[in-house]
Structure 1
Amino acid sequence: MMDASLQEAEKIVHGSVKRGYEHALALCEQVLSEAASTPERYLARDLREAIFSRLGQFEQALDEVAEMIALESKQPHPYFRRARLLLRMGDEAGAVADFTKVIELDDGYFEEVALFLRAVANLEIDKAQSMRDAMLLEDGFSFFARSKRLGLRELSKEQLLEMAKD
């Protein structure tokens, strides 16, 4: 039952089912109330975080990520999610700390993106560190960055270096 509930919730969150987020939240809550295994609890929290983020309910999203970290503190993924939320909310220092944690825990999956987004966060805190991070990226690297200051936009390594010079 729990697997089916999570599968249905995933389809809602990722757009292949036309039911509302309220239904997906209810399915996740059902999984959480049934004393699910750690992977099921983690996925339910992950889906809830995605819904709250899409709805602009960032404090609730942060609460879900805190639960994800409690379940999987040695994995980079929940720190990456929290860092992106913090960057979007304007907490650049918190984002830098979490992107640093991602880089420390990562096996290579998040490496360049975490480094890039840490450089974006550091534009507000430490432009010299932002430049050092950006210099480690491959030439031509680009990614969509979303921050309170920048909004959502695609930035290249080269644009990031220019912004760090200012």
Structure 2
Amino acid sequence: MAILNFNATEISPATTLEAIPAGRYQVVITDSELKMTKNGSGSYLELTFEIISGEYAKRRLWSRLNIQNSNPTAVEIAQRELSAICHAVEVLQPQDSSELHNRPLTVVVRCVKNPESGELQNEIKGYAAPARSVAPASTSTPTGAGSAPWAR
């Protein structure tokens, strides 16, 4: 038994999180772990993504990539997704999944219905380089004001 010394009347209860709307989100990978499949015959890389901007900042998303699987198509899909992630974060030959952590990228999220519960859940369907902010146009006065810049 654990002694908690906790008073729930002093803390607001956690709320149930619903799926975020489908769209593009700026994220970083905050965790990665290689896990065994349920039947023990393969392994997958579980990636944890955290949204870093906008209304859903701090929300997390997960993706599982089949690293070893008896289904070659599942492995091929995972390799393509991992390649997309590597290109997006500009780490093309990672030796360890931690090299992908804390590097911004864009994910494309869609909402799908959980076949067991019927509730909507999020699924990452694409990876891309992070959105670049556009620099504001220069408002400085060009030298030699009054003449065309190409006329010298």
TM-score range, shorter chain: under 0.3
As a proportion of its length, which structure holds more strand?
2
TM-score when normalising by structure 2: 0.27
TM-score when normalising by structure 1: 0.25
As a proportion of its length, which structure holds more helix?
1
Which has the bigger relative contact order, CA under 8 A and spacing at least 6?
2
